Structures are given as structure tokens and as C-alpha cells.
Chain A
Amino acid sequence: MIWTSLDTWIVVAAALAGLASALVGSFLVLKKMSMMGDAISHAVLPGIAVAFILTSSHASGVMFLGAAVIGVLTAVLVQLVQRYGRLEQGAAMGVVFTVLFAVGLILIEQAAQHVDIHPEHVLFGAVELVPLYTLQLFGLAIPRGVAVLGVITVVNLAVVVLFFKELRLAGFDPALADALGIGSGRMHYLLMVLVALTTVAAFEVVGSILVIAMLIVPGATAHLLTKRLVSFLVVACGVAVTAAVLGHVAAALLTAPENGVIPQALTLLHRRVVVARQDILGLLVRHTETFSTKGNAVLVPEPTGLNLQQLRSLPGSPFPAGSGMLRLALITLRLSGSVSRTGKRYYLTPQGMKQAHELLRSHRLWERFFHDEGNVLLDELHPAADYLEHYTDGELREALAHKYTGEGRDPRGNKIPD
């Protein structure tokens, strides 16, 4: 892969989002409130939507205000529902955040007609778009998303450093914190506000759903590796940054359009299965024809179908013994309803018959074409047509048909199906 400044900005944005989230998320993990991060990150959606409708810009001040309000609101609502509904915290969160999320989704769908916002971008993020919107800062063109994330990271870092003692105490022993006058409740709501702000800052990069991974996973990893809070935070931040870099590289190598490893492999597999399927259809449909005394193909009144052995051994079968492709293709043919099985024999269904006839039509039209235009010998016609039939779409077939169906028969005299 070629590293460009786009890649740099993407990695910086992802790393900043990871850092900001890891800093606050670590405390969520410590307080055993991981799912609260999930609830808030879902619940900020209406805040984002309303702010977006009002200002029609991403990452505006209004949006952060809305997020802070919603963050506290979610925490308060969860507590209210928990108390009055006599529900466990998890259920109370479930009720609150799904309703808020639903409201947000409806708002966004409504707004999508008028302003440039897509639910996909809010929910899943679009890190690749981050470098496109830039700000002029200190004479540098810095992507706006990166600037916003930078500010949030600094804010989170400042809060964690300034209130380190208080956060630690409130996290590990809320009762003692209350007794000492620190107010674990206030620390709780401070943390909720930070989570909400971070979620909004990160939604452009990772989306409002996946931000939960950035909040929790580094903290949880650190939890397994260390026992001291300072080293805990350091490890969590390290994990976040490493994940951002490795994640981008892996995405570029594995899933890049056109030449990514996975899309290529899948496309290749797809092609091979499609060809195998068409070969099977061809074998089956030719088996329904028999040769008359004149050497022309005519339909068998009651076709007997073919079994696996015959499919492998018939002349013209591309399947060597032991190839798994035959079975795989047969399974998918049966799934899509083109082939049925009775006993051990495979038959074409009416739908399969139609597809097979299209193939046969392409095949015989090509034979006609090579015979008429290229003066190719009868014996050599078959392989070329066999190859091309897989890549002939309806348009090309009809173009051929337009020219070569005068007699309606291929060079050997077999009927070209309609």
C-alpha cells in the first residue's frame, strides 16, 4: 500500500478518538458500568439529530451542548426508571436508551430529506471522509474532525489529571468518597458528561455504536494486564493507539476496493461457483436431449436426471473426480431452486430449465458466430463457445441472435432454444 497524507490523518483521527475514549472508558470499566457507555452512546442520537437540524453542521457547539444534556439526562432517567419501576439497572438502561435511540433515528430519517445527514454515517462513522473537511489552524490545513477530537482528548486528559484523586476514590469506594465530601454522585455525572461528549466527537470516526468498543475494550484489556490505576490508564491509551494504527493498515490491506485480499478472494470464489453452476445446468440440459438419426438433438420425453457419478464422468464434464466444487455448486443450485433431487439423481426444475436454455442458446449462438464469421472447424467450436457462454449477458445474446438465428440451428444442426 502507498501511505499518503490521507492515511496519516485517518490514523491520527482514529488514534485521538481511541485516546479520548480510553481515558473515560477506563473508569467505566473500573466502576463496572461498561454498559452505561453503551446506553449513552446510543442515547445521544436524538441530541445529534436535533443539533444537526438546528445548525446543519457536524461537530457544532450546539451538538456538544446537546450531547452533554442528553448524557446527564440518560443517567438521570435510568436512575428514575430504576427506582420507580423497581427494575435492575440493565433493564432500566435498555428501556431508556432504546426509546431515545428510536426517537433519534426517526428525527434523522425525517431530516435526511432536507439536510446532508445519513444515519449510516452517524451510526457507523466514516473515517475515510474525515480528511475531506479541513480547517485553517496555525497556518495548517487540519481536518475538522481531527481538531475536534484533539480538543476532546485534551479536555478528557485535563479532567482525568485534575480530578485523578477524586475519580479514583469515587471509582473504588464511593461510600468513602461521599464521607470525605468528594461527592461520588457529582463524579458520576461528570463522567457521564465526558462519555457523551466523547461519543459525539467520535461519531464521525467510528460511529455512535462502535464507540462503545473504543470506550471499553482498551480499559478491559488494561484490566487484565495491570493492577495500578496509572499504569492501567497508560496501557489503555497504548492499546487504543495501537488499535488505530493496526486497524487502518489491516483495513487497507485486506478490504480495500478492487485489490484488497478479501474482496479479491471472494470475487474469485464467486466467479468459479457461478461457472460451475452453469456447467452443471449445461450438462443437465444436454442430457434432456437425445440425438435423432440425422444427428440432430431432440428432446427426451421423460428425462432421467443425472447422478453425481455421471455428472463427473459425462463427456464435456469439467469436474475431475474428487472436486468439491461440484457438490458446492449443486447445493447452491438446489438452494436457489434451479435443480431438484430425487433419490440420488438431479433434475432441472422449470426455473432451472429456463436458465439452462438461456445458456444453451448463448453456447449455440457463439458456435454459429465462430462458424459463420471465423470459419472455425466444427471440432474446435465447442471449447470457445464453452468459455464465452459464461460471460454472455442477455443483451449480447440477443445481439447475436439478431444476426444468426436465420435457421434457428447451430452449425451441427442442433436447435437453438428460444
Chain B
Amino acid sequence: MNDRLLRVLMLADYNTRVVVFGVVMLGIAGGVIGVFLLLRRRALLADAVGHAALPGVAGAFIVLTALGADARSLPLLLTGALISGLAGMGCVLLINRLTKLSEEAALGIMLSVFFGFGIALLGIIQQMRGASAAGLGSFIYGRTASMIRADALLIGFAALGIVVLATLLFKELRLYTFDEDFAAGDGWPVHGLDVLLMSLVVGVTVLGLQAVGIVLVIAVLIIPPAAARFWTDSLAKMVLISAVIGALGGYIGAAISAMAPRLPAGAVIVCVTGSMFLFSLFFGKTHGVVPLAVDALKLRRQTRLHHILRCLYECGEAIYDHSKPISIRTLRDSREWGDQELERAIHTAEKAGHLRETRERAYLLTEKGRVEAHRITRNHRLWEIYLLEHADVAASHVDQGADFIEHVLGTELVAELERSLSIEELTPGSVHHLPAEQGVET
């Protein structure tokens, strides 16, 4: 068993190698084109086109059988799929333009009616003499086992062509994806790009029919880019990641279905890619649920720390003496916070070495804590001045505004604030004095 798995994964057999090449190229093409499809918010169109391909495949099969030619020829069946896929897309556009039905409804109608027609044709095939519909099952569920060398090569090289085309037109596609109006205003052939992208989508869909099947072919186009979305905000990186996920999904999926040829290959590939999506959803670097939650937790901790430090600093200011410990009661009264929140804040700051308990429930800033508290208070007040002078916020409200922003002010922004504000000795309308820059004695 393990030996066999290794043989499959290492592509020891020629047949496996060929099938894996086809499926991996398909995954890459789907991943690349899918990014644009996803960002254009047209994901379900691929689903509809996939279903619309069925009457094309079945029709081509009938015509080929009736003419006595070889009805298993993949290029001819896919040509049929291409024609009916394009016809289906045309129908959606027509329904959209001519009736008041929503695009959703148009997609649903086209998808189901075309698919139903395809099923009817399959019924006819079963009753024709001299026809065996056995090969057509693989188009519905996807079966890599039925893939021969020529099929895999056809899929692989067509997918390669699609990827190359998308790479060459990357700049144009990016512009059109993000700002269609600007692209049109700038003189780009937006309509042509639209048609091109949709044709590439139909192309990938049709190529994926044999490996993944009609119902699931949409997954090749949608899941990899949706997973890639969690890792990055840059389009180029997203395309790259999406292609890698598509390729990996194809590789592992094809390997598993080589091990268990009875399982529908399409479903296996989709499950593998789907689990990669799940992983990305949780652990994706930029938008994953866990990193976001960790960030939020960190921010909450930092905010708490800042609050307690500034509170201690301001209490010290009030008595003109930073060397006296402040009692917990004073701290509680100087800010609107609950006991629990205060305890947590003290604990956090104590652990970070910013304060220590000198007497029973009275706290003093350490040297390190004093420097940090000084910086935070300064940032807070700088922002207060800014709000007063430039944003015309009432003096009674500036404290609140500054409370939110002080935690995220970077050094650059602080420098900018210092440059642009005419810093007087006294801070706005208030009691507070702007602490001097670190290291400058006042």
C-alpha cells in the first residue's frame, strides 16, 4: 500500500505521470483564470457554463455515432461542449438584456434547462443502436481513469496556452478587473477583455469536464482563488498562490484517485482543494480567522497596557511627583473602567515590567514604564492638538478621539504631527501639558 502510494506520488508510472500532468495544468489554469472570475463577481457563471456543456457533449456523441465515426474522440466531444457552453452564456446575456429577470434567475434557468436537455439527449443515446454511452459518465462525475495519453496532453497544453495568454495580458486584465470604467475611459477595449475572460473561463470549464465532471468543474475555478484570498492582498501574489493551490489540489487529487480508481476523481480533487480552502480560511496569513483573532487579541492587550500606563503617568502629573506610588482607588476613579479590566491591565503591565507594586495595592512606574508612559501620553496629546486645530473637534471630545488612535500611531505619523502642529507649551484647552520629547529635559 505504502509502496504503491509512493510510486503514485513519485510519478513512477507513465500513465500516472500523464494524467497528473493534465490535471495539474488544469488546476493551474483554473487557479489563474479563477482569480479574475472571482474578483469580477461572476463565479456562478462558470457553474452555469459547466452544466450547459452537457447537451454539447451528448449532442456531439449522437452526431458522431450517427455518422459512424469514433464517438469517444475527446477533441470532438469538447468542441460540442464548447459550442453549447458558449450558447448557454449567450442565453444568459440575452435573458438578462431582454427581460427583467435577475442575473441569478437567468443563470438558474439556463443551467437547469440546458442540463435537462442534456439528460434527455443521454436518454436518447441509451436507446440508440450501436451506441454505448459508457464513456459519457465520466463527463458527469469526472474520471481520470478514462483519460488516455492524448487526452491528458490536449488538456495540459490547452491549459498551458490559457495560462500563457493570461500572463501576457496580466496588466490589461488587472485594470479591467479592478476599475472597468477607468479602463474604458482610458481607451482599453473593455468589451473585448470581457469576452476574452469569459472565453477563457469557458475554455477551462470545457477542459475540466473529463477530469472533474460537469457538476464540479466550477470548483477548479473558484476554490483556489477563494483560498488564495486569505493569504494576500496583492493581485499578482493571489494569482500565484491560487495557481499553486490549484496545482497541488490536482496533484494530490489525481494521485489519490489513481490509488482508488473507483472514486470519482472530480469529487476527490474538490475535497482535497476544499480542505486547502478550509486551512486557508483559518490560517491564511492576511485574512485567516486565527491570525486575525491573534491580532485582535494583541491589540486589546496593547490597548490595556497603554491605558494603565497613561493613567499612572497622568496621576503622577496631577500631584507633580512621578516617584510616588498611586493607589488602586485613584487609578479606578481616574478612568471609566471596571474592576476586572483594571486588574487585568495592572497584571499585563506588571508582567511586561512597566510597573511594580510598592505598597499594598499601590503602584509605581518602573524606569522602563516611565519612558513608555511618557511616549504614549505624548502621542495622545499630539493627536488631541491635531483634532482641535485641524478637525475642529470640540475640546470636550478630543480625549475620546485620541483614546482610540493613540494605540496605533506610528513613529512616522508622530514625527509628521510634530512638524505640522505649532506646538505650544500647553496642550489644548486643557489641563494637560505636552510632555517634552524623550531625552529633552524641561
Contacts and interface: CB of A to CB of B under 8 A. Distances in A.
* A-B interaction: yes
Interface in A192-207: 207
Contact of B68 (A106, A215, A273): A273
A50 to B, nearest CB: 15
A332 to B, nearest CB: 4
A217 B141 CA distance: 25
Given A102-B216, A255-B124, A270-B129, A277 B116 contact: no
Contact of A216 (B38, B108, B271, B281): B108
Interface stretch (A31-39, A53-61, A137-145, A306-314): A31-39
Interface string B262-282: 111011101100100100010
A210 interface: yes
Nearest to B280: A85
Nearest to A91: B43
A350 interface: no
Nearest to B219: A98
A257 B67 CA distance: 20
Nearest to B289: A84
Contacts of B140: 123
Contacts of B141: 105, 119
B123 interface: yes
A294 interface: no
A99 B69 contact: no
A212 B113 CA distance: 9
A185 interface: no
A47 to B, nearest CB: 16
A213 interface: yes
A256 B46 CA distance: 33
Interface string A334-355: 0110000000000000000000
Contacts of B216: 98, 101-102, 105
Interface stretch (B95-103, B174-182, B185-193): B95-103
Contacts of B107: 34-35
Contacts of B124: 255, 260, 262-263, 266
B243 interface: no
A328 interface: yes
Interface string B197-230: 0000000000000000001101100110010011
Contacts of A239: none
Contacts of B66: 266, 269-270, 273
Contacts of B266: 102, 105
Given A94-B219, A109-B263, A210 B226 contact: no
B105 interface: yes
Nearest to A32: B102
Contact of B43 (A42, A94, A217): A94
Contacts of A319: none
Interface in A271-294: 273-274, 277
Contacts of B222: 91, 94-95, 98
A228 B409 CA distance: 57
B146 interface: no
A124 B113 CA distance: 13
A220 B105 contact: yes
Interface string B406-420: 000000000000000
A132 to B, nearest CB: 18
B115 A209 contact: yes
A251 interface: yes
B295 interface: no
Contacts of B113: 213, 217
Dominant SS among interface residues on chain A: helix
A230 interface: no
A84 to B, nearest CB: 6
Dominant SS among interface residues on chain B: helix
A28 to B, nearest CB: 8
A116 interface: no
B69 A210 contact: no
Interface string A121-152: 00110000000000000000000000000000
Contact of B218 (A98, A260, A332): A98
Contacts of A110: 263
Contact of B65 (A103, A213, A215, A270): A270
A109 B120 contact: no
A103 B119 contact: no
Interface string B52-87: 000000000010111111100100100000000000
Given A86-B287, A332-B67, A34 B219 contact: no
A221 B11 CA distance: 53
B109 interface: yes
Contacts of B119: 124, 207, 210
Contacts of B120: 251, 255
27 contacts: A33-B104, A34-B108, A38-B112, A81-B226, A84-B287, A88-B43, A91-B44, A94-B44, A98-B216, A99-B271, A101-B267, A102-B216, A105-B264, A106-B264, A119-B141, A123-B215, A209-B115, A210-B115, A210-B119, A255-B120, A258-B127, A260-B124, A262-B124, A263-B124, A263-B128, A270-B129, A270-B130
Interface of B: 38, 41-44, 46-47, 51, 62, 64-70, 73, 76, 99-102, 104-105, 107-109, 111-113, 115-116, 119-120, 123-124, 127-130, 140-141, 215-216, 218-219, 222-223, 226, 229-230, 262-264, 266-268, 270-271, 274, 277, 281, 287, 289
For the complex of A and B, list the 6 residue pairs with the smallest distance between their C-beta atoms, beginning with the closest. A213-B112, A99-B274, A102-B270, A34-B108, A98-B219, A102-B267
